Each structure stands twice: as C-alpha cells, then as structure tokens.
Amino acid sequence: MPEVALTGVTKRFDKTLAVSDLSLTIADGEFVVLLGPTGAGKTTTLRLVAGLERPEEGRIEIDGRDVTKTTPAERDVCFVFQQYSLYPHYTVFDNLAFPLRAPGRKRPAAEIQARVEEIARLLRIESKLKNRATQLSGGEMQRVAIGRALVRRPSIYLMDEPLSSLDAKLREDLRIELKRIQRDLGATILYVTHDQLEAMTLADRIGVLAEGRLVQVGAPREVYERPNDIDVARRLGSPQINLVPSGTLGVEERPAAATTVGVRPEDVLLHREDGVAAEVLAVEHLGVETLVLLSVEDLTLRALLGGHAPVAIGEATRIAVRPGAALFFDERGRRITGPETGSPKTGSPKTGSPKTGSKSEAAYGT
Amino acid sequence: MSAKSTAHSVVEASSGGKWLAGGLVVVYALVTMIPLVWIFLTGFKSPPDSISYPPKVFFEPSMEGYVNLFTTRTRQTSEYIESLGPPETWYDEIVRKRNMVIAGPSKFADRYLNSIVIGFGSTFLAVFLGTLAAYGFSRFKVPLKDDLLFFILSTRMMPPIAVAIPIYLMYRTLGLSDTALGMILLYTAVNISLAVWLLKGFIDEIPREYEEAAVVDGYSRLQAFWKVVLPQARTGIAATAIFCLIFAWNEYAFVLLLTSGEAQTAPPYIPLIIGEGGLDWPAVAAGTTLFLLPIVFFTVVLRNQLLRGITFGAVRK
Ligand SMILES: Nc1ncnc2c1ncn2[C@@H]1O[C@H](COP(=O)(O)OP(=O)(O)O)[C@@H](O)[C@H]1O
Ligand SMILES: [Mg+2]
C-alpha cells in the first residue's frame, strides 16, 4: 500500500503557480527525493503534505486516508525545516523531547527519556543533551533537527534541504548517516534538495521539479541515463552534460527530428585515431578524476577522464563520443525515444537495460 | 577578532576612542545624577536645612521628611504636649520637637497604592492585549491590516490634553470618574498602540517555522504560541512593559483632571505636600524618592532584557 499519495495537487499564491497538477506516490519505506532549483515548488510540496498549506485542487492521502482537509496535527507527519529548526530557549534534550510531549501523543516521562537517549546515540549527540540549542555547531544543530523528527515514528518524514546550510564535509558525513538511519529504521522519507549529488546518492527514486511541475520521476540511474528533456539532463550530473547541435562531433546514427545532442562528460573519449580534431583548453585535476575543457568545431566541451589522464594544455587531439551514449533532443527539448536510439551502449560501465518510459518503480541501491 | 589587534578595525573602536567615549558617558551620567542625588539627600534633611542658603551638602540626617510625608500633624501648645507624657515612638519624638502632634496618617500611602494598582494594572492589560493583537497582526491575514495598524498608531498622535475634556465628560456619564478602573482603562488605551507596534516588530522577527514545527508535532496553535512564541518574545515583552509602566507611572495631566480623591495617583499629590510656611521640601523629596524606586527597581531587574530588546535587529546572529 502506498504510504503517501498526491493526486493532481495544485497550489497558487496569488498569481504564482507554486505547485501545478502534481501526482506522486511514495511507497512504504521508500526514500523519494524531489530535486529542483530555487522556486521550483519543493518547499510548497512538502508543506502541502504536512498540511501547512491547503491545495486549491487535488487530493492528498496518507496511509490510504484522505487528509486533504485535515490539520497538520491529524496527519502524523514529521517536518525537518530548512532553517530555524531548533527552539533556542530549550536544551537539546527538551528540543528532542518536544514532539513526544505534544498533548495528543504525550508519552510517560521515562519513555521520553529512553527514546531521546536512543536517538541521541543514533545521531552521536549524547554528550550534548544538556547544552542549550544555541551552543551547538552547525552540524550538531542539524543532527538535533533530524533527531527531533526521528524521535517520532510518523507515516512519513518530510525533510526540506536539511543539509543545505552545512559545509561540504559535514554534508557528506550526514548524508551517509541519514541513508544508514533510513535503512535501519525502514523510514519513509520525502526529501527535498537542489543538490543533484544528494539526490543521486540518497534517493530510491528522484522526482525532478521545474516551475511547480513534476517533470520526471524514476530511479536515479534511470533519470540520469534517460532524462525526459534537456532540463532534466542538465539538472543531473556534475560536471554538466554537453549540449551541442545535432550533426557535430561525428555522431552519425541520429534520429531525423534531433536538433540537440547531449553527451555526458564521461562519454567524451580522447585520443581517438578516427575522431574529430580538438584542442585542450584547460585541465583540472580533481583527484580521482580529471576534468578537461576542449575546443571542438567552435564548441566548448567538457570531458571527464581518469585521475592520471595524460593531457596537457594546448595539446591537439582527436575525440569521439562513446558509441550509443549520446542523447537526442527535439526542437522542443524533449528527448527522442524509440528504436532510432536503441543501439546498445558498448563499453560503457553505466549500461543498464535500455528500458523506455519512466514508470519504473524499481529501487536501485546506490 | 583578536583582542590584541592594534590595527584600527571597522567594527571595534580603538582603545583611545573607547576611553574617550567611556569618559563622556561617565561625565554625562554624573551630570544627570546630580538632581536625583540632591532629591535623595534633601529627603533626609530637616526643613530649615533644606532651604538654608548657601545650600548644605553636609548636614545632620533626619527622618523628619519621611515622617511628615506619611502623617498629618496639628500644632499644640507646649503645655498640652507636656500633658501627654513622654513620646511613645521615635516619630512622635520628631514631631513634638516642632510643637506638633500626629493627627493621623496622610493620604500618601493611599496615593502610592493607587499608583501601583493603576500603573501595573494598565501595564499588564496593555502588554497582554498588545501581545495578542501583535501576534494576530503578525501571523494572520487580517482584512485592512495596514489601515488598522495605522488607526492604532493614530490614537497616539493627539496630545493627551486635546482628548481630556471629551474623556472627562464620557467618564462622568459612565461613572468612571475618579475610579481606579477608569484610570487603568485609560492608560491601557493610550499604551496599547505603543505595545502593539513594538511587539509586532518583535514577533515578526520570530520565524514562523518554529510554530509550524510545533503544529506538525501535534500542538495546537495556542499551545504553540504559549510554548514557542512567548518565550522568544520575552525580551520584547519586557522592553514594552517597561515603556508602558513608565508612561502610566509618570502620567500627570489625565490623572489631575479625572481624579480628585479616591483614585488619585502619587504624581499630582507629591507637589502639594505643604508644610508650615510653604512647601515641605524634605517631605516632597522623600515622596519623590519613594516614587522613583519601583521604576528604578524594574529597570535594573530587567536591564539585560531591556538592552537586548531596545537594540533588537541591530545584533542579529
Ligand atoms: N507564502 C508564499 N506566498 C507567496 N508566494 C509563495 C509563498 N511560498 C512560496 N511562494 C512562491 O511559490 C514558488 C515556489 O516556492 P517554494 O516552494 O518555496 O520553492 P523552493 O522550495 O523549491 O525553492 C516561488 O515562486 C515562491 O515565490
Ligand atoms: Mg525551499
């Protein structure tokens, strides 16, 4: 049974269409990440599920119950806010205990104590329980904020960019911890972010939002390999996908309607005997990988190579696109699917079964 | 920032500048303190000392001013006073030196009590109603919100004396003249505009997410207000309360016009303490000293809250 189902949900603020005809189901124990730029309607979607906003149209169900018109308290959800997540006038313990002391679901003091300590251990903040909420580092605050949600066992956890205010190292640590905790607890999570790396690593399924509309939903690799349109292709992957006019780079087998060709940086191959002439403009050593900026036929191209790739600035080389790896988009930016693009990828480590469509419910591990 | 830094920092004054600023503040404080110190000292002078010329800085302290403040006295012949036998209390003794006997308590204690009831009562009401109104204006869609807020502010634009006569007539009809309730309502009405505007500013600064988190966790709106908003608005509430109390405590014009006996507060009473041969300065000074105490006390108790409250916005983390 789906834990949460949104059907045709629409929300307007005056003239702004914040969420438009959004339908999404989240299965029990699933980790769904909504990915989109600022203003895409991510926060609004979470607030609609939580009941902090009322939709103009559509239905929201939690555990098979229509909750469209009920108050937040009646919905059995938890919300981790983007900021301002802790009460500054309480200690860490009281912050964590706060949800358990709510009138409707008040627990005995001993149980609260035990539960808070359990969660504090899980998040490795036991030693901070007596601190004031304001006497914590950013990472600790965010742990407590997540802990405040985890002390309860709601139908669904809603998390609004909980890691966005942290520095890169902490973000990575907490990301891994969050995934571990979610697996251990079997929690159902709807998570919002604008960071594609977070989306790719955390999600069982990614939903790509743009201007209030859900453009594509699918497993991370599925969305990465078979984006519905140029926008989704650009949204996922770092460094970004190369988008070039059709007919360049020596990509031969292309559908007639294609106007733009998308090539992931890792699918650009250097030092090919029979390739297109190119010049190396810049080389960035990223450690495990090397990012190379190339000039080809008046185009600038990003290529991602191994850590010790032998390239030098100014070097002339010949490049090719990994066979079958190119993505084709029509003039409206939609990806062209169907038999023309069906030639299987060869030699690509990322080959998946070339299933078309985006309805797959398969949950890939990461 | 390093405390040892010798370079001129943009945000921190140089140590020379600090000393200069500190010195100026001390000098200014001393200058403004002199009248207060003089009033305090005068309260402990005898009436002749209080009007001696040149003024006496060193004098023999006496409780006469305080005794006179709290009592009414009648002049008697020395034979009559002798017939009473030796004085029973220290204040009897002070009074008899001036050939007088205590006839009864003065009205000062009553007036002072009125000040406390009216001052604190109206402050409590103004802050209570102001907090609720400010919360409403801050968080809900109120029709004509801006116009209402302007209207509330506009009640403060007229000088009190301009509305004094209408209020006088109104109160006479309503039976509120010379009642503590009438004065509490009046001061509440005057203060509430200040309270709403100040508190709305403070509550606007508290992010809504706090309440929303509480509501999602299963608290009602009112409980969220009580547990989450109020504790964080504490500094603002303290600052507002002090401002309201200072106004109500010091108010003179309305109370002079609207009260005569029962509900009069201390301010119109103190200047009228007449002793023999004119004003009884030590008693006036004693009354003034006692009158200043509550405000000083509360300002000192709440000074940390007050400082943070007044400088809010300037020091966001
Ligand atoms: N309370 C609100 N009032 C008016 N407009 C809003 C409100 N909340 C969000 N919006 C608008 O709705 C759109 C989506 O906002 P939001 O859901 O916060 O985006 P995101 O979280 O993806 O950055 C934005 O254009 C934003 O300006
Ligand atoms: Mg947002």
**B68-102, pLDDT tens digit by residue?**
999 988 888 888 888 888 888 888 888 888 888 88
pLDDT in tens, A311-348: 889 888 888 888 888 899 998 888 987 544 444 444 33
The whole-number pLDDT of residue B13 equals 64
Among A86-95, A225-234, B1-10, which stretch is predicted with the lowest mean pLDDT? B1-10
For residue B228, pLDDT beyond 60 = yes
- Nearest alpha carbon to residue B100 among B70, B123, B77, B117: B77
pLDDT value of residue B310:
58
| Minimal CA separation from A87 to chain B, in Å | 7
**Distance, in angstroms, between B315 CA and closest chain A CA?**
15
Cα–Cα nearest to A241, from A220, A268, A207, A215: A268
Common-topology check for domains A4-225 and A230-363 = no
Q: Is the pLDDT of residue A349 over 50?
A: no
Atom number of ligand 1 nearest to Cα A45: 17
Nearest ligand (C-alpha, residue A18): 1
Domains and CATH numbers, chain B: 47-106 (no CATH), 109-311 (1.10.3720.10)
Angle at B145 between CA B144 and CA B147, to 5 degrees: 65
Residues of B in contact with A102 (CB under 8 A): 214, 217-219
Q: What is the percentage of chain A residues whose pLDDT exceeds 70?
A: 91
Asked if the model's pLDDT at residue B145 lies above 50, the reply is yes
Q: How confident is the model at residue A308 (pLDDT cuts 50, 70, 90)?
A: confident
pLDDT at A356: 38
B298 alpha carbon – ligand 2 mean position (Å):
43
Mean pLDDT for the stretch of residues A116-130? 89
Closest Cα partner for A75 from B223, B139, B215?
B215
Range B169-187 average pLDDT: 93
Q: How far apart are the C-alpha atoms of A324 and A354, rounded to whole Å?
A: 11
C-alpha gyration radius of chain A = 23
A114: tokens are 């035990």
pLDDT of B273 > 60? The answer is yes
CA distance A364 to A204: 6
Q: Which residue has the higher pLDDT, B123 or A352?
A: B123
Query: Angle formed by the axes of helices B234-250 and B303-310, to 10°?
Result: 100
Assess B226–A contact: CB distance below 8 Å, yes or no. Answer: no
Ligand number nearest CA of A14 is 1
pLDDT at A344: 41
**pLDDT (average), residues A210-220:** 93
Q: What pLDDT does residue A343 have?
A: 42
Q: Mind listing the pLDDT tens digit for each residue in B146-155?
A: 999 999 888 8
Residue A182 buriedness (CB in 10 A; 0-12 / 13-18 / 19+)? buried
Q: Label residue B22 by pLDDT band (50, 70, 90).
A: very high
Report whether residue A38 contacts ligand 1, using a CB cutoff of 6 Å.
Answer: yes
Q: What is the pLDDT of residues A152-211, one digit of tens each?
A: 889 999 999 988 878 888 888 889 988 998 998 899 999 999 999 999 999 999 999 999
Could you say which architecture CATH assigns to the domain A230-363?
Beta Barrel (2.40)
Q: Rounded to whole angstroms, what are the CA distances from B251 to A313, B187, B245, B309?
A: 82, 9, 10, 23
Question: How far does the centroid of ligand 1 lie from the alpha carbon of residue A75, in Å?
Answer: 22
Bridge partners (DSSP) listed for residue A206: A33, A218
Residue B124: pLDDT over 90: yes
| Residue ranges per structural domain of chain A | 4-225, 230-363
Supply the pLDDT for residue A348.
Answer: 39
Question: Which of A51, A84, A102 lies nearest to residue B217, judging by beta carbons?
Answer: A102
Contact A85 B209 (CB under 8 A): yes
Q: How confident is the model at residue B43 (pLDDT cuts 50, 70, 90)?
A: very high
Token pair for A265: 């940086």
Work out the average pLDDT over B246-252.
93
Please state, in angstroms and rounded to a whole number, the distance separating the CA atoms of residues A343 and A53: 47
CATH code, residues A4-225: 3.40.50.300
**How far does the centroid of ligand 2 lie from the alpha carbon of residue A6, in Å?**
19
Inter-axis angle of helices B160-174 and B180-204, nearest 10: 130
Q: Which residues of B touch A50 (CB under 8 A)?
A: 212, 216
Asked whether the predicted pLDDT for residue A1 surpasses 70, the reply is no
Q: Quick one: pLDDT at residue B98?
A: 85
**What is the model's pLDDT at position A181?**
87
pLDDT tens per residue across span A141-155:
888 998 999 898 899
| Residues A365, A224, A20: CA angle, nearest 5 degrees | 100
Sequence-distant (6+) residues with CB within 8 A of B26 are none
Extract the tokens encoding A315: 């070097």
Cβ distance B216 to A104 less than 8 Å, yes or no, reads no
